[in-house]
């Protein structure tokens, strides 16, 4: 890769999750020059933190490997990590993008040998594992991190650890003098693929995410299935490390709610159906899931997966918006209180663990866009003519699952190509 140059015929892709990767690759494989920027040290985004995909129950890392292979093979694509877009000016076909590149403190010489991580002592919350685990101050973010290059946490700078890392590296790859840089790129079109973040669960006060150890979010639950994750691949509840065999899933946690996110986050029903299969995978007949839902939104062919999960007698569905969660201090169990609206029965059901099927909100706040774009009441970028040659892809445009994000990203790639081809026509 990386012969790409930035001109008015180049496409800038902001965000290196599945949507950004896809948009960048699809355009580059059409022969276009593409610059892909990602603010984290490695690409892959949220899908790299998933154990399995619904409805196939296949592994996201499998598709990521294919995409990494495509990136390695493509000379039209230039990847810049730890890079954020901080300014954008100009008009369609003629934009100047200002990029701020944070120092990695590790240069191209890195062979990925891991000696620096061994030498460093300080540990920090591991972002990849939503803080459920610690990582070293010199680290490879995860097994498939790309570029496969270590990173130094800026917090070890000026400490002995920084010197230890430097001393441990035989290849001159640690550069403690690296500085933040700002560069301007000339591009013709911009694809905005900044993705989503989980809604702040602590704000859903009655569910006590901030009070009860055994109330967690769906994204955290997902991390538990990773053999290299915080629990070594076991479903253990946080309070006492006991196997979480009886798990409650609360749908629309933060979604479809006037007090929180008004929109439906689309993926959460399917995510909980998927996660209910993890219980059977780990505990066989002893695994039990109860899904508290308003509507199960398994649209189009995803219905098949819903039917499959429904056929499992260990998965129970309760049509109810859970009113509150309390804790049984003796057992550590969580107790879900509410009314089953099918027949109006009150319940107070104890479970080992409660998973909040947390809503999806755009990761960039409306106020944080470096340029004027049309954003709807839910914070998603609208497809609007006034956006010029700035095209949203994936979850920056709507609450989408992976399949539809990729669809959206592929479409965005063509819209960007239309602009740069017009420029080429004029310039050519």
Partner 1 sequence: MADVKIGAYICKGCGLGERLDTQALATIATREGKAAFAKEHDVLCSQSGVDMIRKDIDAGEVDRIVLAACSRRAKTDAFGFDTVAVSRCNLREGVIWTQPDTEEARELTQEMAEDYVRMSCAEVKQMIPPHPNELAERNRHVLVVGGGISGLTAAVEASRAGYPVTLVEKSGALGGWAAQLWRRVPTRAPYADPQDTGVAELVAEVEADPGITVYLNSTVTRTSGAPGRFAVDITAESGGTATENFGAIVQATGFTPYDANRLPEFGFGKSPDVVDQLGLEALARAADGGAIKRPSDGKEVRSVLFIQCAGQRSTAKGHLPYCSGHCCNTSIKQAMYFKDSNPDIDTTVLYTDLRTPGKGEDLYRSGQRKGVIFTKGVAQEVKPGGRGLQVRFKDLILDQEVEVDADLVVLATGMVPNSGVDIEAALKKEAAGAEGGADGEAAADADAAPVQEVSILNLDYRQGPDLPKLMHGFQDSHFICFPYETRRTGIYTTGPVRRPMDIAQALEDATGAALKAIQALENAALGRAAHPRSGDLSYPSFHRDGCTQCKRCTVECPFGAIDEDEQRYPMFNEARCRRCGTCMGACPVRVIYFDNYSIDTVGQQIKAVDMPEESQEKPRILVLACENDAYPALDMAAMNRIGYSAYARVIPVRCLGSVNSIWVTDALNGGYDGVMLMGCQKGDNYQCHFVKGSELAHYRMSKVYDTLEQLQLEKDRVETHEVAITDIQRAPQLIEAMAETVKRVGLSPFKF
Please give the residues from 184 up to 213 whose contact with partner 1 meets the rule CB under 8 A. none
5 binds partner 1, rule: CB under 8 A: no
296 binds partner 1, rule: CB under 8 A: yes
Which residues does 192 contact at the CB level (< 8 Å), separation at least 6?
Answer: 14, 15, 373, 381, 390, 391, 392, 393, 396
- Residue 333 CB, nearest distance to partner 1 (Å)? 29
Query: Given the complex with partner 1, which of 40 and 265 has the nearer CB atom?
Result: 265
- Residue 53 CB, nearest distance to partner 1 (Å)? 5
- Residue 211 CB, nearest distance to partner 1 (Å)? 29
Q: x-or-dash pattern for partner 1, window 370-389, by CB under 8 A?
A: ----x-xxx-x-xxx-----
Residue 365 has, within 13 A of its CA and on its CB side, a CA count of 3
- Residue 207 CB, nearest distance to partner 1 (Å)? 20
DSSP code at position 350: E
- CA-nearest of 95, 138, 66, 117 to 7 is 95
Tell me which of 273, 388, 398, 423 binds partner 1, using CB under 8 A: 398
DSSP result, 59-93: -HHHHHHHHHHHHHH-TTEEEE-SEEEEEEEEETT
Tell me which of 344, 368, 386, 426 binds partner 1, using CB under 8 A: 344
Task: Determine the Cα–Cα distance for residues 152 and 136; give it in Å rounded to an integer.
Answer: 9
**How many C-beta neighbours within 10 Å does residue 332 have?**
17
Sign of CA dihedral 368, 372, 373, 374: positive
Task: Determine the Cα–Cα distance for residues 51 and 233; give it in Å rounded to an integer.
Answer: 10
Query: Given the complex with partner 1, which of 21 and 325 has the nearer CB atom?
Result: 21
- Residue 223 CB, nearest distance to partner 1 (Å)? 13
Tell me which of 89, 96, 111, 205 binds partner 1, using CB under 8 A: 111
Which residues does 412 contact at the CB level (< 8 Å), separation at least 6?
Answer: 19, 23, 191, 193, 391, 392, 393
97 binds partner 1, rule: CB under 8 A: no
Q: How many residues bind partner 1 (CB under 8 A)?
A: 92
30 binds partner 1, rule: CB under 8 A: yes
Query: Given the complex with partner 1, which of 337 and 410 has the nearer CB atom?
Result: 410
417 binds partner 1, rule: CB under 8 A: yes
Tell me which of 177, 285, 300, 386 binds partner 1, using CB under 8 A: 300
262 binds partner 1, rule: CB under 8 A: yes
Which residues does 83 contact at the CB level (< 8 Å), separation at least 6?
Answer: 37, 38, 39, 99, 100, 101, 102
Within 50-89, the residues that bind partner 1 by CB under 8 A are 51, 53, 56-67, 69-70, 72-74
- Residue 349 CB, nearest distance to partner 1 (Å)? 20
Query: Given the complex with partner 1, which of 157 and 383 has the nearer CB atom?
Result: 383
- Location of structure tokens 């006590």: 208
Query: Given the complex with partner 1, which of 63 and 90 has the nearer CB atom?
Result: 63
167 binds partner 1, rule: CB under 8 A: no
Tell me which of 183, 299, 346, 348 binds partner 1, using CB under 8 A: 299
Q: x-or-dash pattern for partner 1, window 218-237, by CB under 8 A?
A: ---------xx---------
**How many C-beta neighbours within 10 Å does residue 226 have?**
20
170 binds partner 1, rule: CB under 8 A: yes
144 binds partner 1, rule: CB under 8 A: yes
Q: Which residues of 300-314 are buried (b: 16+ CB within 10 A; e: fewer)?
A: eebeebbeebeebeb
Sign of CA dihedral 37, 39, 42, 43: negative
Q: Which residues of 80-114 are buried (b: 16+ CB within 10 A; e: fewer)?
A: bbbbbbeebebebbebebebbbbbbbbeeebeeee
Query: Given the complex with partner 1, which of 215 and 298 has the nearer CB atom?
Result: 298
Task: Determine the Cα–Cα distance for residues 416 and 136; give it in Å rounded to an integer.
Answer: 40
- Residue 232 CB, nearest distance to partner 1 (Å)? 10
Question: Which one of 90-98, 215-223, 278-286, 396-404 is the stretch in contact with partner 1 (CB under 8 A)?
Answer: 396-404
């Amino acid at each position: 890769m990386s012969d790409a140059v930035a001109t008015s015929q180049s496409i800038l892709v902001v965000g290196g999750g599945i949507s950004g990767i896809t948009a960048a690759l699809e355009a580059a494989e059409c022969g276009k020059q593409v610059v892909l920027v990602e603010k984290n040290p490695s690409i892959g985004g949220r899908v790299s933190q998933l154990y399995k995909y619904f409805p196939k129950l296949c592994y996201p890392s499998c598709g990521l490997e294919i995409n990494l292979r495509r990136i390695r093979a493509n000379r039209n694509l230039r990847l810049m990590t730890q890079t954020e877009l901080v300014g954008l000016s100009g008009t369609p076909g003629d934009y100047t993008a200002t990029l701020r590149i944070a120092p990695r403190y590790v240069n191209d010489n890195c062979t990925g040998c891991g000696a620096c991580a061994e030498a460093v002592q300080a540990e920090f919350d591991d972002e990849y594992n939503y803080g459920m685990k610690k990582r070293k101050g010199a680290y490879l973010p995860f097994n498939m991190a790309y570029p496969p290059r270590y990173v130094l946490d800026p917090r070890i700078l000026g400490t002995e650890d920084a010197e230890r890392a430097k001393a441990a590296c035989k290849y001159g790859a640690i550069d403690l003098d690296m500085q933040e840089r700002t560069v301007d790129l000339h591009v013709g079109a911009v694809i905005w693929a900044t993705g989503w973040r989980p809604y702040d669960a602590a704000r859903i006060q009655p569910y006590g995410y901030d009070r009860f150890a055994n109330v967690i979010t769906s994204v955290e639950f997902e991390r538990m299935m990773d053999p290299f994750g915080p629990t070594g691949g076991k479903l253990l509840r946080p309070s006492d490390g006991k196997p979480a065999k009886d798990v409650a899933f609360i749908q629309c946690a933060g979604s479809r709610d006037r007090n929180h996110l008004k929109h439906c986050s689309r993926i959460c029903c399917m995510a909980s159906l998927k996660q209910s299969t993890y219980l059977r995978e780990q505990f066989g007949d002893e695994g039990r899931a109860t899904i508290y839902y308003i509507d199960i939104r398994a649209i189009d062919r995803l219905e098949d997966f819903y039917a499959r999960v429904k056929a499992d007698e260990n998965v129970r569905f309760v049509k109810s918006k859970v009113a509150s969660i309390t804790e049984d201090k003796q057992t550590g169990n969580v107790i879900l209180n509410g009314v089953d609206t099918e027949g109006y029965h009150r319940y107070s059901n104890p479970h080992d663990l409660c998973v909040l099927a947390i809503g999806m909100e755009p990761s960039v706040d409306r106020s944080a866009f470096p340029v004027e774009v049309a954003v709807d009441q839910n914070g998603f970028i609208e497809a609007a003519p006034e956006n010029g040659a700035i095209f949203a892809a994936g979850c920056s445009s709507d609450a989408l699952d992976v399949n539809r994000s990729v669809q959206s990203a592929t479409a965005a790639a063509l819209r960007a190509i239309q602009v740069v081809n017009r420029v080429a026509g004029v310039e050519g």
